[in-house]
Amino acid sequence: MLLPDVSLRLESEIAAEIAARGPIPFARFMELCLYHPVLGYYTRGVGGGGGRDYVTSSGIHVAFGALLARQAEEMWRRAGRPEPWHFVEFGPGEGYFASDFLREAARNGAFAAALRYLLVEPSRALQERQRSRLKGRTSIPLSWVDEQGLDGRAPLVGCLFANEVLDAFPVHRVVGSADGPREIHVVVRDGGLHETLLPLSAPALERFLAESALTLEPGQEADINLAAPCWITWAVSLMKKGYLVVVDYGHEARDLYAPQRRRGTLLSYHHHRVNEEFLQRPGDQDLTAHLDFTALRRAAEARGARCLGLTTQSRFLLALGALDFLPVPAAGSPETGRAGADAVRSVREREALKELILPGRMGDTFRVFVLGVGDVPRDLAGLSRPWARSEETAATAPLSPPRGASSADEQEN
Ligand SMILES: C[S@@+](CC[C@H](N)C(=O)[O-])C[C@H]1O[C@@H](n2cnc3c(N)ncnc32)[C@H](O)[C@@H]1O
C-alpha cells in the first residue's frame, strides 16, 4: 500500500519516539495521529470538510443547530435573561453548527443581544474555515478562544456544548488476561509499527478500573478514555451557573464493557469506509471510540454538577420541534421545469432530517448528555416527553392502540 507523504513522515516521527523512550501506549499513538502539531489528522482539518471521512449531525441538516438554539434560548429565558449569557462551542469543525445556531438565535432580538458565542478550536486549519463560513453572517459577538483564554473568562453563566468532540480523545486499549489487565502498546518491529501487550502505563488507569469496578475477561478488550472525564471536570469548573451539553455516541459502563463486547468500540474511518487498521495511514484517517457516560457522570457529580438527562438525539430533537423542519411539498410549475428540482430537494431534505432523528440511524446512535451547574431548572424542553401524552391518549382510545410503544420510548434520565 502506498502511504501518503504525511503518513510516512508521521510514522517515522512515531518510530523515532519509540526508539527514544521505548514502546508507547496506544493512547499516545492516537494522540499523535490526531493532534500532532503539524501532521495530525484534526490539526490539518482533513476529515470533515468535503465530507471526506465522516459527516456529523451539524453537516447533515440545519435543524440540528437551530433546535439547539431553541434549547439555549429556553435556558437563558428561564435563568432570568442574564446578560451576558455565554454559549461555548467546543470543536466547531466546519462551523455549520454555529452558522445554523446563530441564524435561529437572531430571531429573538433580546436573546441575540445577551448572547456571547465562543468557539474553542485547537486546529488552526479548521479555525480558518470556521471564520470564513461565519464572516459577515451575524451581528452576535463571536470570539475564538483557547482553553487558557476560557479559564480567564471563568466563571461563566451560560451553556457549554460539544458535538462529536470527546469521542476523538485518545483512548488506552486495555485487555484482560489471567494475570490481570494489560495495555496495548505500539512498537517498531521489522521496520513497521506493531501492537504488543505490556503492563498498564499509568496508575490513573488502575484507578479508573477500580472506580468502575471493571474486571475484563481474558482476551476482552476495552477502550479507556481517561481524557474525557478530566475534560468534564475542567468544563464544570468553568461554570458559575448553567448547563453542559455533550452529544456523542456512547453507552453506560454496564453496556460498554459488557463481557459479550469482546473488542471495544474503537474504529477508524478513511474515505467513509470503516476499518480496524488502527496503525495504518497515521495522520490520514479518523480514529474514534464510544464514550462511557457513567464515567462522565461520575466526574461531573464529583465536581458538584447534576446529571439532568441522558437521552437519545432523536427524543431530544423531536421534543424541541424537529418535525417543524419537515419540508412542505413544493408547488413548482411544470412550465419552468422547477417542479422536478423542487421535489428532489424536498426529498433530500426529508431524508437528511430522517437521518438525524430515526432510530437505527443517528437518532438513537447518538446520545444527548445534559449536566446542570448551580441552581438551574432541570425540566428543559429537550428532555421533556411530549409524545408521552399522545401515547396515553391513544392507549385509552377504543381503536388503534399504539403498536410498539414500548420501553424504547422511555426516557433514560
Ligand atoms: C469530529 S469533529 C466534530 C466537529 C463538529 N463539532 C461538528 O459537529 O461537526 C471533532 C472536532 O473537535 C475538535 N477538538 C478535538 N479536541 C478538542 C478539544 N480538546 N477541545 C476543543 N475541540 C477539540 C477537532 O479539532 C474537531 O474540530
pLDDT tier, 395 (very low <50, low <70, confident <90, very high otherwise): very low
Q: Give the model confidence (pLDDT) of 256-270 as tens digits.
A: 999 999 999 999 999
Atom of ligand 1 nearest to the CA of 59: 9
Cα separation, 15 vs 316, in Å, equals 45
Domains of the chain by range and CATH? Answer: 6-411 (3.40.50.12710)
Better-predicted residue by pLDDT, 273 or 95: 95
Q: Which of 367, 173, 164, 167 is nearest to 264 (CA)?
A: 173
Atom of ligand 1 nearest to the CA of 42: 25
What is the identity of the amino acid at 334?
Answer: P
Cα separation, 122 vs 91, in Å, equals 8
pLDDT value, residue 328: 78
Is the CB of 49 within 6 Å of ligand 1? Answer: no
Inform me whether the pLDDT recorded for 405 exceeds 90: no
Is the CB of 41 within 6 Å of ligand 1? Answer: no
pLDDT value, residue 219: 96
- Quote the mean pLDDT of the chain: 90
Cβ atoms of 183 and 198 closer than 8 Å = yes
Cα 104 to averaged position of ligand 1 atoms, centre (Å): 22
Count Cβ atoms within 10 A of the Cβ of residue 252 and give its class: 0-12 exposed, 13-18 middle, 19 or more buried. middle
Is the CB of 117 within 6 Å of ligand 1? Answer: no
Atom of ligand 1 nearest to the CA of 58: 8
pLDDT value, residue 264: 94
Is the CB of 165 within 6 Å of ligand 1? Answer: yes
Is the CB of 212 within 6 Å of ligand 1? Answer: no
Cα 308 to averaged position of ligand 1 atoms, centre (Å): 24
Q: Give the model confidence (pLDDT) of 306-332 as tens digits.
A: 999 999 999 999 999 999 999 876 665
Cα 90 to averaged position of ligand 1 atoms, centre (Å): 6
Q: Give the model confidence (pLDDT) of 21-44 as tens digits.
A: 999 999 999 999 999 999 999 999
Is the CB of 97 within 6 Å of ligand 1? Answer: yes
Q: Give the model confidence (pLDDT) of 191-242 as tens digits.
A: 999 999 999 999 999 999 999 999 999 999 999 999 999 999 999 999 999 9
Q: Give the model confidence (pLDDT) of 274-290 as tens digits.
A: 999 999 999 999 999 99
Cα 281 to averaged position of ligand 1 atoms, centre (Å): 20
Q: Give the model confidence (pLDDT) of 31-78 as tens digits.
A: 999 999 999 999 999 876 556 777 899 999 999 999 999 999 999 999
pLDDT value, residue 361: 86
Inform me whether the pLDDT recorded for 413 exceeds 50: no
Cα 406 to averaged position of ligand 1 atoms, centre (Å): 35
How many other β-carbons are positioned within 10 Å of the β-carbon of residue 328? 6
Going by DSSP bridges, is the β-strand pair 221-224/286-288 parallel, antiparallel, or unpaired?
A: unpaired
Give me the residues paired with residue 250 across strands: 291
Is the CB of 164 within 6 Å of ligand 1? Answer: yes
Cα 59 to averaged position of ligand 1 atoms, centre (Å): 13
How many other β-carbons are positioned within 10 Å of the β-carbon of residue 241? 15
Determine what percent of the chain is predicted with pLDDT higher than 90: 81
Average pLDDT, integer, range 95-120: 98
Cα separation, 104 vs 99, in Å, equals 9
Is the CB of 168 within 6 Å of ligand 1? Answer: yes
Cα 45 to averaged position of ligand 1 atoms, centre (Å): 10
pLDDT value, residue 331: 62
Is the CB of 58 within 6 Å of ligand 1? Answer: yes
Cα 13 to averaged position of ligand 1 atoms, centre (Å): 24
Cα 122 to averaged position of ligand 1 atoms, centre (Å): 8
Phi and psi angles of residue 229, each rounded to the nearest 5 degrees, phi first: -65, -35
Is the CB of 123 within 6 Å of ligand 1? Answer: yes
Q: Which of 197, 171, 170 is nearest to 182 (CA)?
A: 197
Residue with CA closest to ligand 1 atom 13: 91
Grid cell in block for residue 186: 505500539
Atom of ligand 1 nearest to the CA of 169: 16
Cα separation, 25 vs 12, in Å, equals 17
Inform me whether the pLDDT recorded for 123 exceeds 60: yes
Average pLDDT, integer, range 330-349: 71
Cβ atoms of 243 and 370 closer than 8 Å = yes
Cα 7 to averaged position of ligand 1 atoms, centre (Å): 21
Is the CB of 93 within 6 Å of ligand 1? Answer: yes
Better-predicted residue by pLDDT, 173 or 338: 173
Question: Comparing 74-83, 303-312, 335-344, 349-358, which segment has the lowest mean pLDDT?
Answer: 335-344
CA angle 342-347-352, nearest 5°? 125
Give me the residues paired with residue 222 across strands: 174
Atom of ligand 1 nearest to the CA of 57: 8
Cα 164 to averaged position of ligand 1 atoms, centre (Å): 7
Cβ atoms of 235 and 244 closer than 8 Å = yes
Atom of ligand 1 nearest to the CA of 94: 9
Going by DSSP bridges, is the β-strand pair 156-163/239-251 parallel, antiparallel, or unpaired?
A: parallel
pLDDT value, residue 393: 54
pLDDT value, residue 342: 76
Atom of ligand 1 nearest to the CA of 286: 1
Atom of ligand 1 nearest to the CA of 126: 27
